[in-house]
Structure 1
Amino acid sequence: MKLTNPGPVPVYTISGASTARPLPDWLSRRRKRSLKNDPEYTHRVELLQDFEFEEASQRVRVSEDGNWVMSTGTYKPQIHVHDLSNLSLSFARHTTSLNHTFVLVGRGYEKSLHLQTDRKLEFHTPNGCHYETRLPRYGRDLIYDRFSTEALVPSAGLNPVNNSGEVFRLNLELGRFMRSYDVDVGEDEPGSGLQGSIGVGCVNVGAIAEDTHGLLAFGTSISTVEFWDPRTKSRVAVLGGHEGEVTALDFSPNGLSLAVGSSTGIVQLFDLRRPAPLLRKDQGFGFPIQNIIHLETASQERKILSSDKKVIKIWDEGTGEPWTSVEPIVDLNDVTHVKGSGMLLTANEGKQMHSFFIPQLGPAPKWCSFLDNMVEEMAEEVHTETYDDFKFLTLPELKSLSLAHLIGKTNLLRPYMHGYFVATKLYDQARLIANPYIWEEERVKRIKEKVEKERASRIRGVKKVKVNQKLADKILSRQEKREQVDTTAGVLGDSRFTKLFEDEEFAVDENSFEFKVLNPSTTVPGNQTSSADRTPAPDRRSGDSSDGQSDDDGNGHAESEEDGIRMRISSSGQNRVGQLKDTALGSRVQKAGRSEKARGGEVVGEKQVTFVPEPKKKAKPNQPAPPAKRSDSRRSASGNVLRRL
């Protein structure tokens, strides 16, 4: 039991699901086991046992004697009958087609008429379906006239004889159809069949003033209401000018007024003695009105209940002021009122059927009188006052905002314990006056939090592989600038490259010549040698002479002679001593002594190299060549420096 609509007129939800979609059976059973220690769950109220259907419920009715509740639903199409004296399900029965609506003929559940969606009208007794008959056209509503023992079925389509809508009359005492009521529903397209065309008019709904004058009212799809006298079987009057199709009708208990609901969500209240509406109410959602019920509260006030598939509204019959409302989380199909009480039962699209209790509408029914005591106990509970529009401040904080002078002078400051509750509007204004840049600081703070949040989401993914771990880390590092890191995207997630990270035959050898050529600036750990142990590689350009040999002048320079042109090329062995990594181009130029200061906006690095040809010096044929002098700064070819000691 839960207080659904707290306010001047509280509404209590006695039964019904709290979620739009039902939970699976296995999950609901698990949740029930976990809630067995919850005191709120253990003290719950189950008003009626198995007050539900497998998928959805269509209609619900309470018997005249108040001891039985009959409801229809799906899936599969079935009928449930609950015994209210025992608060349990009496029996369930399946049908061959879905039920559209039904009425209880007697005071109990023993006799009932069911209008099915396949044009059948079924008669049910406690033993089962007693008899069924076929209607010429689809029925839209079902009314039972007790004085003439006739079942009235407003139908869709036109009578091919006189091109008018029909209300079928089935006399239960004689057991045969009588002449139908001919209701004007417009014209149909020529050449249409028995059921009519798609846009054919129909009689949507009917109502009967059973306890008063006995007039019949039929609402049509052309926005009219026709009144018929069942004694003379003739039309009495026609009421038009409604907005949209007429979808709901209900006579007042005194029979002098009629409430009309339309397909546009408008409810109008008419006095039978005048054609103009006394009152006009908008339901608010624009859905067709499904039910209209005249109610009378415990204080003898007359109210009107109107419902569509979203909300149930109860409002005053004289002034139209809203009294209370109920808005379930599931779509409604039907609403019924337990007479003489404040109980409402609903058939809806959810698995569980809902029941609502309004204490100010009337007392609890006799079969659940314990609800009155429960409501009184809940009403006696002291509800602490909540300050939704107030902010708690201590006295130093109040003085910092220059609001201390308002203490005891206004109700915008409410003392509480060691501080005060300050109205939110006053607090915002005082804070803005104390610090005019508070909004800019708050904006910067929120932007910073948003940036930090996005930055935290850009964490490099980690994925362990058997081989080529560096390659996998390099691929994942490229995703740092993305909003989301996915370790299964690209090469890492492609099955064609699985062996690249699992098979050792595909391992990348970082000591190979090909790897060093493709990655010149990569330092391989554990493979760094000293400068004394490295031998400079011979320059291939200096050995391109005709005889395939290169001459060394003893100073680390090689000479190349061709066509009388001599070009000096310095050896890179001396300049690269101690250099293990590639350096910037500008630093290398400056160390080599070939750079000049930038003048006139010149960019360092863009230099011109000029080779000056020199004439070839011919050596004397009998003079031997001088021996090459060894430079002390040059390394020994053998690498053994101890021989010179």
Structure 2
Amino acid sequence: MKISQGNVPVYTISGSEARPLPEWLIRKRKRSLKNDPEFANRVDLLQDFEFEEASQCVRVSEDGDWVMSTGTYKPQIHVHYTPHLSLSFARHTNTLNQTFHLLSSDATKSVHLQQDRCIEFHTGGGLHYASRIPRYGRDLIYDRRSAECLVPSVGVNAEGMGECFRLNLEVGRFMRSYEIDVGGDGATIGAGSLQGGIDAGAVNTGAIAEESHNLLAFGTSHGTVEYWDSRSKNRVGILSCPQDSVEGRSEVTALSFPRSGREVAVGDSNGIVRLYDLRSPTPLLKKDQGYGLPIKNIIYLDGAQTGEPKILTADKKIIKIWDAKDGSPWTSVEPSVDLNHVEWVPKTGMLLTANEGRQQHSFFIPQLGPAPRWCHFLDNIVEEMAEDPNDPNAFGKGAIGEVYDNFKFLTIEQLKQLSLDHLVGTTNLLRPYMHGFFVAQKLYEEARLISNPDLWQEQRAKSIAEKINKERESKIRGTKKAAVKVNRKLAEKMLEKQEEQERRRAKRVLKRGGDDDMLDAAAPAPAVEEPVQPSGVLNDPRFAKLFEDPEFEIDEQTREFQQLNPSTKIPKGLTLIYDVFKEEAALGATKY
């Protein structure tokens, strides 16, 4: 269930390490599995999160309620509805899918690049439309500002240039393609024009900085990256990656822009990732994946959860997360099967993968971010299962009390009063527990100060009053016991119960002839006399604040308290016959 890499734990929620078993085998081995802690602690995150042979691509919708996956065999599409943690529907296709994108905020509209040169558009009702492209596509990009599907392709056109086909969804037709220099075939004239020829050039991948300047970047098999302006439809720059002295110039297989758009991450076919500033051809940072395999995914992770910006890179063997500033490794995940695609659930610590093998993998990294809102129970499960008490996001049993001293429990109504309800499911500062959330004490104090600017003066006056009361209590007084400050009625009620228990015990001892005292006398005395601790809740230091701190004062005016503790009880009166007998008895007593 748990894979630990360094100081950052990674939990395998589903996949080869999660030990799934079919229902018939579970029933057959029910007794043996009862004492298996690994199987008992398994978590089935999404129902039927698998394909018969392998999965090709996986995406999460913008609203976070849908997960779409493609795989084989037979070629099909699976759509999961995350609030129900189950498979919503499955749909078969004619050919294998290569990649796809969601066009809407949910999973109702999507565009798919198939391996038979088809671009398919799917809606909730099924296949809406399909169009073929002249050559095989390598990747699929969606430009939201111009509503265009961009398909980098293999081979060159009549002018010897590689192409990225443009399908405009607003106009409903193909526009003039982006012509990209892919080098062609350096050995034979004309061979480069054949998409199946030897060393045929190709536009392998592309990326778009849609959250900033909307610049397009295309990586080629020639080892170059071309930048295009989506407004003027012109090339604005070319980046040539360094050439390896042994293997020569490698192909560009992955590209990614951060949210700022000032940098670009380039992954090549030799497992090298380089970070470039758009204003300089010199790489800022170089990172080796370690296996020499083509990079499949590069994802910029939100630094708000990790403290520092992180970058996720993946080939078919391993997923690595490292620091974007100095390249220091942060954590890594190495599944037992080959990876085809990795998807990060935004603003969370969840990773979903499409991979070879039956089951799709899902990994949870608590230090990367909280669990998604549709599986927030993972936070509690991880806290119970964690073994490292120094991990600030997943605590062991011995450290729970120490850690939660720095947290304040608030209900959802209290969060709304402090204007903190928008943080639910987006940050580690709010941790779901029972009917509310544990909120970091520092955040709670800041929110209280913002909502009530006069709070500081009230706290200051309160602290001064507490110091004065403490000094008064420290003075020598009589033997009279100091009364409780808060919840006086509760204390009196508990004292009455305690005295009633003592009276019952005394009666029981007298009835047995002092057997309890004899047993106490027969017990061996300890070698060292221990100080006698006062018994009862009132003298228990664990509950001291219940009778001292005004924040623990019981509000007897609330509806819940009045329902549980009715203030008035109608005494059970005597019937009319008993009243008559009572009057006659009184009259008879007066006669004598």
TM-score by structure 2 length?
0.62
**1:608-619 matches, cutoff 5 A:** none
User: Aligned to 1:159, which of 157, 160, 165?
Assistant: 157
The residue number in structure 2 matching 1:292 is 298
Shift of 1:253: 1.1
Is there any run of 5+ residues in structure 1 with no aligned partner, and where?
Answer: 384-645
Q: 2:345 matched to 1:338?
A: yes
| Conserved 8 A contact 2:184-2:199 | no
Deviates more, 1:211-220 or 1:7-16: 7-16
> Secondary structure of the residue that 2:285 maps to in structure 1?
strand
Could you tell me whether the CA contact under 8 Å between 2:12 and 2:18 is conserved in 1? no
- Structure 2: distance between partners of 1:62 and 1:215: 23
Query: 2:396 maps to which residue?
Result: 381
- For the pair 1:362 / 2:369, whether they are aligned, the reply is yes
Q: Secondary structure at the match of 1:275?
A: coil
Deviations 1:399-457 (A, max 9, x none): xxxxxxxxxxxxxxxxxxxxxxxxxxxxxxxxxxxxxxxxxxxxxxxxxxxxxxxxxxx
Residue 235 of structure 1: aligned partner = 235
1:305 aligned to 302, 312, 315, which one? 312
Report how far residue 24 of structure 1 moved. Answer: 9.2
Q: Is the 8 A contact 2:205 2:255 kept in 1?
A: yes
Distance change >3 Å, CA 7–CA 51, structure 1 → 2: same
Q: Distance in 2 between matches of 1:64 and 1:165?
A: 32
Looking at structure 2, the residues matched to 170 and 32 of structure 1 have their Cα atoms a distance apart, in angstroms, of: 55
Q: Which residue of 1 aligns with 2:526?
A: none
1:311–1:326 contact (8 Å) kept in structure 2 = yes
After superposition, the Cα gap between the structure-2 partners of 1:219 and 1:191, relative to the gap in structure 1 and judged at 3 Å, is closer
For residues 161-240 of structure 1, the aligned pairs below 5 Å read 162-188=159-185, 189-192=188-191, 195=195, 197-240=197-240
> 1:38/1:270 Cα in 2 relative to 1: closer, same or farther (>3 Å)?
same
Match of 2:4 in 1: 5
Partner SS for 2:290: coil
Q: Which amino acid aligns with 1:314?
A: I
**Matched residues in 1 for 2:274 and 2:4: separation?**
26
Question: How many residues are paired up?
Answer: 381
Question: Segments of 4+ in structure 1 off by > 2 A?
Answer: 22-44, 187-196, 378-383
Q: Is the 8 A contact 1:19 1:329 kept in 2?
A: no
**Paired residue type of 1:174:** V
Displacement of 1:44 in angstroms is 2.3
1:608-638 residue CA offsets vs partner (Å, 9 max, x unmatched): xxxxxxxxxxxxxxxxxxxxxxxxxxxxxxx
Tell me what 1:16 maps to. Answer: 15
* C-alpha separation in 2, matches of 1:131 and 1:18: 40
Query: What amino acid is the match of 2:153?
Result: S
CA distance in 2, matches of 1:72, 1:299: 31
Partner Cα separation in structure 2 for residue 38 and residue 234 of structure 1: 62
Larger radius of gyration: 1
Residue identity matched to 2:317 = K
Shifted more, 96-105 versus 8-17: the winner is 8-17
Show the counterpart of 2:257. 251
Question: Residue type matched to 2:70 in 1?
Answer: T
Q: Supply the distance in 2 between the matched residues of 1:24 and 1:361 (Cα, whole angstroms).
A: 32
Whether 2:270 is the aligned partner of 1:273: answer no
In the alignment, the residues of structure 1 paired with residue 95 and residue 44 of structure 2 have an alpha-carbon distance, to the nearest angstrom, of 30
Structure-2 separation of matches of 1:90 and 1:266: 39
* CA distance in 1: counterparts of 2:213 and 2:30, whole angstroms: 54
Q: Could you say which residue in structure 2 is the equivalent of 1:146?
A: 144
Amino acid at match of 1:216: L
Over 3 Å counting, the alpha-carbon distance change for 1:25 and 1:45 in structure 2 is closer
Distance in 2, matches of 1:14 and 1:105, equals 28
Over 3 Å counting, the alpha-carbon distance change for 1:290 and 1:31 in structure 2 is farther
1:301: Cα distance to partner? 1.3
Q: 1:156 aligns to what SS in structure 2? A: strand
Q: Amino acid of the residue matched to residue 112 of structure 1?
A: S
Deviation at 1:39, TM superposition (A): 5.4
Provide the alpha-carbon RMSD of the alignment.
Answer: 2.2
Shift of 1:8: 1.3
Residues 58, 343 of structure 2: 8 Å contact kept: yes
Identity of aligned residues (%): 66
- SS at structure 1 position matched to 2:354: strand
Aligned pairs for 1:393-432 within 5 A: none
Please give the secondary structure, in 1, of the residue aligned with 2:369.
Answer: coil
- The superposition leaves residues 20-75 of structure 1 with CA deviations (integer Å, 9 ceiling, x where unpaired) of 9x989986875578535645424421100010000011000000111100000011
* Equivalent residues of 1:68, 1:83 under 8 A apart: yes
The 8 Å contact of residues 5 and 331 in structure 2, kept in 1 or not, is answered as no
Residue type of the alignment partner of 1:163: G
- Of the candidates 348, 371, 379, which is equivalent to residue 372 of structure 1? 379
Q: Deviations over 1:299-327 (max 9, x none)?
A: 43100000101110000000100000111
Deviation at 1:163, TM superposition (A): 1.1
In structure 2, distance between residues paired with 1:377 and 1:362: 17
Matched position secondary structure for 1:237: strand
| Residue range with higher mean Cα deviation, 7-16 or 221-230 | 7-16
| 1-structure distance, mates of 2:57, 2:218 | 20
Say if 2:356 is the partner of 1:349: yes
State the shift of 1:382 in Å. Answer: 6.2
Q: What's 1:58 paired with? A: 56
Provide the C-alpha distance between the structure 2 equivalents of 1:307 and 1:178, rounded to a whole number of angstroms. 33
Where does the alignment leave 5 or more consecutive residues of structure 2 unmatched?
243-248, 387-394, 399-592
**CA spacing shift, 1:334–1:138, aligned 2, 3 Å:** same
Q: Are 2:342 and 1:316 equivalent residues in the alignment? A: no
The separation in 2 between residues aligned to 1:337 and 1:40, in whole angstroms, is 26
CA distance in structure 1 between the partners assigned to 2:211 and 2:5 by the alignment: 36
The secondary structure found in structure 2 opposite 1:41 is helix
**TM-score where L is the length of structure 1:** 0.57
Which AA in structure 2 matches 1:284?
G
Structure 2 match to 1:103: 101
Choose which of 126, 133, 136 in structure 2 pairs with 1:135: 133
Q: Is the 8 A contact 1:207 1:216 kept in 2?
A: yes
What is the CA-CA distance between 1:3 and the residue it aligns to?
1.6
TM superposition shift of 1:347:
0.8
Higher share of residues assigned helix = 2
One-letter amino acid of the counterpart of residue 131, structure 1: Y
Cα deviation digits, residues 109-138 of structure 1 (max 9, x gap):
011000000101000001111000111000
Which of 284, 288, 298 is the equivalent residue of 1:282? 288
User: What does 1:458-537 correspond to in 2, within 5 Å?
Assistant: none
Contact 1:158 1:196 (C-alpha < 8 Å) held by counterparts: no
C-alpha spacing 1:27/1:177, structure 2 compared with 1 (3 Å)? same
Residues 1:315 and 1:40: Cα distance change in structure 2 (over 3 Å)? closer
Matched, 1:84 2:99: no
